[in-house]
Structures are given as structure tokens and as C-alpha cells.
A and B are shown apart, each in its own frame.
Chain A
């Protein structure tokens, strides 16, 4: 009882999604710190193998709900099974991916259990909390840390009075790590019949179109990213030329995506993807905290910006003060020369 639970999502290939493995790695740390078990919930169809693949990530128990009506994901069947499971098991912490599935399911669960839910956390820690109003002291609560309002602040959120404490985390924010290849857990089957009989009816999937991921910058070793300072969609093309030359992928800030300079799939930051390349070249990016949250773990950062005071420069290894439209072609020429 009062363990840490990770809701695991399945990929289209019926394996555990990366985001969920990342959450298991974080969940393992939290469970070890709290001295409790790490548990996972896997809801799907023919997913025993997927469930067992969680053990090396430090999962002690897997609650397994295996039924054709649970695949593909639909809100109400998953909601019914998971909310009943949480009521029964009473975990102290439940983690979800901030994906289209997690962001659909977690709020409905939180509403039903009347507990708190913090979206898009970038850090999760355990610590004490003193309520300034009531003077009450709480040991070992979940610190849910996320950038907030306009990106100029980092907020630490706690839910001292309600359980479970729930949070969502975006893919790529936490590291996925094998805890112990020999770690063994147990499968605990979950009865679903009573839940599914009622929940199966309301929404039907008529068809699904799975797109091959056209743009995937998550695994890129080098990223050339553009911000609002690129000025236009046309200017953004220069980044593609630059990226082709040095074997990089092109990323963008939310401001650049919102301005229509490039595709949403390229967005890096709190509400986009998180990247950890060996080189990150920030072009015309001022560096709002939401953006930095998605790239500050890059091994090396170069900033090209007309503003010597741009916040991004503070985390850059190299700052080139100048206009991107002149600096990039210059740099490309130098690079070509040096390759010879």
C-alpha cells in the first residue's frame, strides 16, 4: 500500500512507450527514497511480454489488465479500470506521461479522486513541506517542479492533503535507465469485466491513421534551432541549409512555430520535445525558460543573437553577437574551409 505507481502507455507496436520507461526510472528513484515499492499499471491487449519488460527498470509489481477492449486506448475503459485500481491500491504517487494519452486520462482520474495533478513537470523530488497558513508539517511529499507563467519563474507545487499526488511529465524530460537487468517483479492480474461492460459503449473508434514520424528531432546529435529572431519562414530555410551541411536536425522555439516559420514537430521546450544533443546551435533564440527546459542539457551550446543580453547566452558555451542571416553563411563558409 501507498506505493509509487506509473501508468504505462503502449506504443503502436504494443511495447512499453519510451515516456513510460522514463517515468519508471524516475519512479524507481522516488520509491527507493520513500522506501516503498515501484508499481506499474499496464492496460492493453496481449501485453504480458510488455509488462515483463518493465522489470529491468526497477518495477516491483505490474498490475496487468489484458483485454481486447483496452486496445487501442480509449478514455473510458482505461479510466474505469485505472480509477478502480487506484482506489483499491491507494498509491501515494501516480505518474503519467504528458502525452495525448496521459493528458487525456490523468485529469479525468484526478477529478474522480479529487486529488491534485501537476502538468508538465520538469523535476520531481521528495521533501518536507511546512504549510505557512496552518503551520502543519508534512514529511516526504512530492515536489512537483515546473516552469510557469511566461517562463520567468519556476514553481514548486505540492499537494500535501490529498492522495495520490499525481503529475505528468513530457517525453524526454527524464532519463530512461536500466536499474538492474536482473531485477525481477511480479505480475498482478486486474479483473476488468465489471468495468468494461459499462465503459465500452460510449465512444467507438471508427478508423485510425498512424503516421510514420516524419520529423523526429529527439535523437539528433546536432540541432540547429531557430527562434522568433529568424524573422520569417523564408529565413528559416537557411537553417535547413546549415543543418544539411553539418548533419544536424532543425529545431524551433514555440514562438517560431506559432509564427508559422516551421512545423510544430520541431518545437523544443516544455510544451515541445526535450533534446540532449552533443551540440545545440541556437539561432535568434532569446531563451525563455520553457525553451531552455527542453535543451539546457545539451553538451555544448552555441548562441547566435544580435542581443548580447539574451538569456540564452547565459547557458551558452559560445555566444556569437551578430545577425543570424550574416553569421550563419559566414560560419558555413568557415566550416567548409576547415573540412578540406
Chain B
């Protein structure tokens, strides 16, 4: 019997390498100027999925992502690293989705894949940091969730054992399958793309599907399906304090340290 693993992944703006042109003069985000990357924790999730596949001979790994057509890049990357196949959910009708609408679309896409045994995803994406989509997909598919996973301890076709992060420590949990696991940045680094796979798969197209192919209630997609609305966006205006600017001279630093000691701050 085959064992099906799904990895939920996202292509995200590389918020760690935001250049000066990342914002338009009017304060909106200049998406064109932002480089994109495979969301880092999703790569950790892919590695955990591949480790499960290493242990279960009949297992397959399918990447599911939602985004613009360009998101096919991360499916290709994942394939080169060892995933079997992948699909991009791309449709303007998904635009403006908050986490609830996103998790609905993803869960419907996963349903189209038939019986799925394990779902992995990063704990959160670096462009939003909400950590909501994983648990929401698990709820929609009515399967248990194991969040904040750091290490795969054991797996068989019926259950998975995971070490997961707590606020002050860790715990080992055993979950019955099917289950959804979200992986933190403490997970093992993803293996590199394999040169043979890159050559072999270079010409293989990535499957693109739209809202019509996931049997979805259109009212629950995109902006329409999103209960959270952005009321207001404000550019950050810093309230200027009366700031004393000091040159790093001995006299200035001496006076500052003396003042702070005198005021019982130091």
C-alpha cells in the first residue's frame, strides 16, 4: 500500500534581504523589487517529509503550494531535492486570502489527492509569521496536528513520533495517522538539490491548477472568504523624542556615563 505525504510550502518575499527600493514612495510594498525564496521553515518540513520517505519504501512526497505561476519554482526546487511531484494552486480568485481562506483552498487541494497519510508544513512563513495555516488545514481535514516539531523520532504507517518545542522545554508526542505536522526552524536542514534529478527533471512541467479543480465553494476563497479585513495601513511615523546626539568623544561619553550614574540609571 502506498503511503502519501504532502508538503505545504510557500514562496515568500525574502524579508531578510529587503533593499531600499522595497517600498514605493507612497508607502505601498513594491513586490517587484523583492527577491523570493522557498519559505525557510517549509524547507525544514520538506526535509522531515523526505526522511519519512527514506524510512517507508512505498512513500511518495507531493508538494502543494498556492501563489502566482512563478511559485512553480519552489515545486521544481523541491523535486530536485527529492520530492516526487507537486502542484501550484494559482488563480486570481485566491487573491487577498487571509489564513482562513488560504487554509480552505489548501485543504480542498489536498482532498483532491485522495488518501493522504501525513502532511508537513513549516510552522510559519516569514512574510506573515502567523503560524495559522497549518492548524487550520488540520482542522478542515479533521486530522490531529503536531505543531512546533523539531525532530522526527520514529514513524511507521500508523503513527509518527515527534519531538516538539514547548514554551519552556520540549515534549515527545505520538500521533495517529493521518496527521499534520508543522516544523520549526530547529528542524534539520534540507538536503541539497541532486544533480542527476536536476538533469532528469529539468524539462518536466509543474502541474498548475485553479479554483475550478479543487471542488471549492467560491464564497470561501480569496478576499470574499476572508473574515479579516485591513482597515488601515499607516506608515510608521516615529514620534521624535528630544534626542541628544553625541559624537563619540571621550568627554561626551564621560559626561553621559556620569549623568546616568547620577540619575541612578546605571
Contact = CB atoms under 8 A, between A and B. Distances in A.
Contacts of A115: 100, 227
Interface string B180-207: 0000000000000000000000000000
A118 interface: yes
Contact of A154 (B146, B171, B173, B236): B236
A150 B230 CA distance: 16
A150 B147 contact: no
Given A119-B129, A155-B233, A75 B144 contact: yes
B173 A103 contact: no
Interface in B197-243: 226-236, 238-243
B236 A334 contact: no
B265 A278 contact: yes
Contact of A75 (B130, B140, B145): B145
- Which of B100, B148, B256 has the most C-beta atoms of chain A within 10 angstroms of its own C-beta? B100
B172 A161 contact: no
Interface in A244-285: 246, 255, 258, 270-271, 278-279
Nearest to B31: A149
Given A100-B148, A201-B176, A203-B176, A255 B16 contact: yes
A104 B229 CA distance: 22
Interface in B236-266: 236, 238-248, 250, 252-254, 256-258, 260-261, 265-266
Contact of B16 (A119, A144, A258, A335): A258
Contact of B234 (A118, A143, A153, A301): A153
Contact of A156 (B130, B170, B231): B231
A321 B247 contact: yes
B244 A318 contact: yes
B125 to A, nearest CB: 12
A313 to B, nearest CB: 6
A36 to B, nearest CB: 21
Contacts of A144: 228
Given A206-B161, A311-B238, A317-B244, A327 B228 contact: no
A139 interface: no
Contacts of B266: 222, 246, 279, 335
A202 interface: yes
B7 to A, nearest CB: 19
Interface stretch (A50-58, A61-69, A106-114): A106-114
Which secondary structure characterizes the binding site on chain B? Answer: mixed
B29 A150 contact: yes
Contacts of B113: none
Contacts of A207: 171-172
Interface string A160-182: 11100000000000000000000
B253 A330 contact: yes
Given A117-B132, A331-B253, A205 B171 contact: yes
B131 A112 contact: no
Interface residues of A, number: 92
Given A150-B18, A279-B265, A117 B248 contact: no
A320 interface: yes
B56 interface: no
Given A108-B136, A115-B227, A206 B167 contact: no
B89 interface: no
A107 B18 contact: no
Contact of B228 (A143, A157, A317): A157
A157 B229 contact: yes
Contact of B174 (A72, A206, A322): A206
A203 B144 contact: yes
B138 interface: yes
Contacts of A104: 135, 145, 147-148
Contacts of A131: 229
Contacts of B235: 152-153
A116 B98 contact: yes
Given A108-B138, A278-B265, A156 B230 contact: yes
Given A108-B145, A120-B129, A318-B244, A162 B239 contact: no
| Smallest CB-CB A-B distances: 9 pairs | A322-B248, A116-B227, A314-B238, A107-B132, A111-B136, A116-B228, A111-B139, A119-B130, A107-B135
10 contacts: A74-B173, A107-B133, A120-B129, A156-B232, A206-B161, A209-B169, A222-B266, A258-B16, A314-B243, A334-B253
Given A158-B231, A330-B248, 17 more contacts: A104-B135, A104-B145, A108-B136, A110-B99, A114-B100, A120-B129, A149-B15, A157-B229, A162-B227, A203-B146, A208-B166, A208-B171, A208-B172, A209-B171, A318-B245, A319-B245, A331-B253
